[in-house]
Structure 1
Amino acid sequence: MTTMRLAAVGAAAALLLAGCGTGASEETEAAAGGVVTAEDCLDPAAAEAAISGTLKVGWSAPLSGPLAAAAGAVIDGMKARFAVANAAGGIGGVKLEVVAKDDAFNPERAKANVNELIQKDGVHVLEVFGSGQLNAAADDQNEACVPLLYAQAAVPEYRDAANFPWTTEYLPSSEVEMAVVVAQLQQKYPDGVKVALAANQTESGQSYANGFKKAIEGTNVTIAAEAPLTDPNAAVTTLKESGAPVLIDAGVTTDCLALSMAVGRSGWKPETFVQPANCVDGKSLYEPAGAAADGQQVMVWLKDPANPIYADDAGVKQYLTDAAAQGVKAPLNNYTVNGWAIGDLMVDAFTKAAASEDGLSRLGIIKVARTQTYSPPMFIDGIDWKMTPETSLGIGAFRPFTWSAAKKAFEPAGDVITIDGH
């Protein structure tokens, strides 16, 4: 597969590359990776203690409300990947367990859950779903020196290893993703283009919106109108009137289908309609919208086991075999695949930590996670996971896909786009 380097595709590349460093400095490098220490922890001995018996991963997630299905599928995928690892002997005999608590996508409940998971449940690793939830939990979690690995969030601030050394994020940086989107818009519209921006008002949505605004600085891509996604129908009415040929959804999972349906009802057909990377499940988010979803674009890093282009892929075949053996309810659901991939990243980090000089401990785990390079079998070929002290990105590449309403499937819309040096 051909890989396109973003540095070659326009002015947005410079913004992206600036975002890759996330303001990295000598202080950042000193605090990251193998130089994370337990010296400032509330209980240094606990952070350095060897984990035995069972390694617990604590989740605070929206297990009720409109995001419950997506979050539940992610957790199911992780549990299944852990079950495969446990069946193979665990991590040197240490078994993996998921402890999940419902926060209903409420940041304050997430904060309470994280504190309970640390203090009462004694988890060794944490995970959260949502940028607001990460924002609420990060200070307490870093003070306690409990690794929060691969948070389901995309906020640039928490990629700062100096200020949040015990936190890593999984979702692609909103700034990076939007810089790639803008670079593509510049290719398609070399003389410039006006954009209609639909923005969710949560921290997750605003992260996307702000990432887009940053990416268009100094370009000939401009915002003709912006509307909140509080009411998708009202937002579409406002945005359609702008006459912009491009519609960008700076939203969360629940916005993807709702915005498409509103666009369809309005009779509007934007020339280009870009959904955020968290909108990847064709069955639930695109197919119900019918013709309104046709041609919508999304940036993708995971293989879709339901897509015929992966029918002979070794990683997908193994995933489906393992998922079937573990009784996974919806193995073709992209959120299940997402959870499996996160679990796979954790298994890799735990295994490497166990072989490190710090051993399988909270400190050993975060040191590995801050400098982890891995090629998950369910990542698209040419896309790797890479964390360094200088660039805490993890995912630094995408492959664009467009939805075909006729085929009810995503089709590749170009080669993998990667970041220079990632």
Structure 2
Amino acid sequence: MLAGMSVEEAVEASPAKPRRRRAGARFGVILVTVLALLFGVPWATLVWSGNAWPAPVFIVGTALFVVAAAGFPVLMFRGHGRHDDRSSRIADTTLGVIWQLFVWSVLGQALGLVLALAGVGGPVRSRVVAGLVLLVSVVLLLWGHREAMRVSRVRNIDVTIPRLGRGLDGLRVVLITDTHYGPIDRSRWSRGVVEVINSLNPDVVAHTGDIADGEVPQRISQASPLGDVRASMARVYVTGNHEYMSGAQGWVEYMSSLGWEALHNRHLVVSRGGDSLIVAGVDDRTAASSGVPGHHMDHEAALAGTDPDLPVLLLAHQPQQITGAVAHGIDLQLSGHTHGGQMWPFHYLVRIDQPVLQGLTRHSGRTQLYTSRGTGFWGPPFRIFAPSEITLLTLYAEK
């Protein structure tokens, strides 16, 4: 028995190490399996599978895939675990490249089957497949990088809110989300986003979280342009899940210092023409498990003291939080988080976790949800078939 422990404590503690070892072993097996598939399928398609490349090509190609596969998890850990920007840039770019090569290699195998049925044989078939996989991947990656780095286009959405008063008819709400200021310095991009926002003459500007990957001092040059955002009524912000890996309370305080209202389970009221709208916000659904004191999703606190007859606009980072919005009679929830999938066909994996990928959806007789594809990007500096957006939502009273 361990010294100083009771019998009960010793019994409870004794299985802990074996459980941790088993969990670590499972994680190791999953990691190796994922890496083997992610890097192995493109290697087989481009280098090995019937291509009959000269020996030097085969050796160099194989070496590149082995080095990339071995270095990738190390760089990801250093980059995103320790906020080493150089490692993050290399790992994130590698992830984007290998994801596209993997996807198109899988589709290329289907093409290879068609060619085989058409009578194309030998290394010709495999080389045609390899060439097309490489060509399509390179074209999409170049285009996707341009899409990711450009200032987001404006997406116009009209939303009818039956309880909205006539005095607020035509209220202009600009939504940005998932800016993910990170290892690539996008200070110029950030200033461009602010210029677009201000050109829209918004009444309310909302940021629904995932502001950055990194703490405030590390990302301040990219985030500081948000202080120049103009809105006639309010600038409001809520935390996303990435804040809880990047000093959430620091970001709440920094946004407040820039003049934004951090809706940390609270609300404010905007009024015009004798009519009012409650603008509320809740912390991200991961806040409670983050260990950050005082952070958790709390709709009751956010709506405390509000007039139940007034319409409510709610900021909540994840579409999955819509269940709470429905339960509390919210009229419109604004969310992000999904990035619209960011890199096709990752969309299908996002839909396993979230009820909505993007756009305006209805979830009860009263509650609607708008999910943005995001203004920035996370990780791989690519957006493929999932363009970013700055959203202009115009709210209308029911006629």
Q: What range is the shorter-chain TM-score in?
A: 0.3 to 0.5
Give me the TM-score of the superposition, normalised by structure 2: 0.34
Q: Report which of the two has the higher share of helix.
A: 2
Give me the TM-score of the superposition, normalised by structure 1: 0.33
Instruction: Give 1 or 2 for the bigger CA radius of gyration.
Output: 2
